[in-house]
Amino acid sequence: MAYKFIYITEDYKVAANQCGTMTHVIDNQYWVFEINISQMRVALGVTTNDLGALCTSENINKWAQYKPGAWGGMTDYMAALFEWVLPVNNFRLGDFIGYNHNAKPPVYYAETLPESIQVEIYDLAVIHVHLARGEAAPVAKAIGAVKTQLDVQTTWAGTLTHHRISVPSYGDEMITIEIPVEYNLNLDIKPFYYTLEGPGEYLEVSAIEDGFRRVALSHTTWQFYGIFIHELVDRTGGNPFEQLITWQLSRTINVPKSVSARLHVHGTGFHEVNYDMGVLSFAGMETKTFGTSGNIEFLSDLGATTTVILDIEFDTDNSFSHPQLIVRSSFVWTTPGIAP
Whether pLDDT at 27 is above 50: yes
Q: Domain check: are 150 and 186 in the same one?
A: yes
Q: Which of 55, 75, 96 finishes a domain?
A: 96
Say which CATH number the domain at 258 has: 2.60.40.2950
Nearest to 296 by CA among 340, 232, 245: 245
Same domain, 279 and 304: yes
Residue 210 lies in a domain: yes
Residue 182 lies in a domain: yes
What pLDDT was estimated at residue 142? Answer: 40
Give backbone dihedrals phi and psi of 147, rounded to 5 degrees, phi first: -130, 145
Q: Are 91 and 117 in contact (CB under 8 A)?
A: no
For residues 187 and 283, state if they share a domain.
no
Looking at the structure, do residues 329 and 244 belong to the same domain, yes or no? yes
Which of 20-24, 193-197, 240-244 has the weakest average pLDDT?
A: 193-197
CATH number at residue 147: 2.60.40
Task: Tell me if 339 is assigned to some domain.
Answer: no
For residue 248, the model assigns a pLDDT of 95
Among 63, 96, 129, give the residue marking a domain's end.
96
pLDDT tens track for 201-227: 555 555 556 677 888 888 888 999 999
Let me know if residue 101 belongs to a domain. Answer: no
Check residue 140 and give its pLDDT.
44
Mean pLDDT (whole number) for 226-243? 90
Q: Considering the entire predicted model, what is its pTM?
A: 0.64
For 214, the domain range is: 107-220
Over residues 234-251, the mean pLDDT reads 92
- The model's pLDDT over 102-155, given as tens digits with 9 standing for 90+, comes to 998 777 788 888 999 888 888 888 888 877 777 766 544 444 445 566 677 776
User: Based on the domain organization, do 216 and 118 belong to the same domain?
Assistant: yes
